[in-house]
Structure 1
Amino acid sequence: MTRTAALLLALAAAPAAAGCSAALGGPVSVTDADTLVIGVKPDQPGLGLRTGEGRFEGFDVDVALYVAGHLGVAEEDVEFTAVTSAQREDVLRSGDVDLVFATYSITEERKSLVGFGGPYYVAHQDILVRADEEGVEGVRGLEGRTLCQGEGSNSADRVIEEKGIGAELHEEPAYGDCIAPLLDGEVDAVTTDDLILAGYLAEEPEGLRLVNAPFTDEQYGVGIAAEDVAGCEEVNRAITLMYQDGTAEELLDRWFGDTGLDLVTSVPQFVGCG
């Protein structure tokens, strides 16, 4: 159980007349944390990947450590835990994690359930196909195709529902599980954020091709408890500083500099807290 969750349970158990919330200085916030549990993806190369040693590495992990340092929490006091797309709201709302950095696109539906700092980067939805696939050069080329997406994601829905493309949906537990079916010809394409796809392409450069035809903006937000407005605002200050001091550009170049993507190194426009 995280420190935040433990404090929330203590507040819930206390008599209402005791005024414990006020005595503890108001709502629990990550700004008061000595340790942090942070949810990241375990299977997205370049973003959040669990190594053979059990460590996590990638752009999301490095951004999370930068934000944690700004909050006054040292790297050794940060615990990373794996989350899937489908788990992100649940682990935040239950207090199992304090923050989520997991290619977590900000949407109105998700904002009704949890809070968001950032975005810390704006990616773009694109398409990954087999290297020998010549019939897909843009989103319209997905008509009649089978698309794979990770459970809990909305990427394929944006193609099928928002773009009106007549494609068939195939779901796997996570996006990493879509790569083998794609290579084997069981599905025709994987469509999600270009940073995610670039990581998989780097691992299978001979077998896969990035169409490089972006068609949405994906605001990567920092998932946080909906009531933690102070924490959200501090996260935004950290992200601003990360871009101003050159760290964001350095991290983007480290993880995606060889992908050919047009990387944006200016501060994203924040969605606002509360």
Structure 2
Amino acid sequence: MHDPNGLRTVSRSRLRRCCGQAYYSFRRYLFWLSPGIRFAAFRQTESLPFLYARHQTPLLRRLRDVEMIYQYNKVQNLRVACGRLDGILLHPGETLSYWKQIGRPTYAKGYLDGVILRSGEVTAGCGGGLCQLSNLIYWMTLHTPLTVTERHRHGYDVFPDAGRTQPFGSGATCFYPHGDLMLRNDTQDIFQLRLRVGERFLHGEWRCSSQSRFRYEVVERGHRMQGEWWGGYSRHNELYRLVYTHEGEPLGEEFLAANHAMMMYEPLLGEGETHAGYVK
């Protein structure tokens, strides 16, 4: 049977995976050299005057069968990556590439082994955990007039909804170098990304050279969970962005993304039951 959403894991040989990685990496490096795109590169320590969007996410989660050392290592990885992105300015017409600005995560740069989700399996690897940062940036960007030109959805829904404050599928996964998050400034204003790793939370802000003109709300529609013929459960929805004036007058809506993911926990468990891969 056909899998229209591309959720079923396809087994490939190690050689094919390596060749595919090399091919798509080479294409990405060529793309970054493209003369037709102006990539953001300038950073400044002074914040722009106006706040456009702000968000924070908790740094530590207890994951079943995953040692907490990888969570602490993730915090270190976030500090290193934030040091490459914090303060960057996105001028009109410029594009911000998440991976071009951060670079390849290596031990020599201070990265440690963190948790990586690969084909539905939890493993450890250098720079693991940086998806938390791309998730944060993507969610904040949806509340600005910036244009998302590349975003990759998560293929697996890792955590149940307990404590979830955002709609399912509102993140952006990342894998170096071709699984990028790219944002373009199509406005006449300058935007600035501010990031900080606190004691308990990862903090982010989009700041701007002028005051915001609109208010944005992200909503989900068509949410459903379903059993798949090859086993397991999948989850689906669509995200839309509603635009309002600051006085609350609706101005319109925009389709953002359709999300499809395999669930890494059993749906519809009773209250207090333990979910696979997650401990409350």
TM beyond 0.5: no
TM-score by length of 1: 0.23
TM-score by length of 2: 0.22
Q: Which structure has greater helix proportion?
A: 1
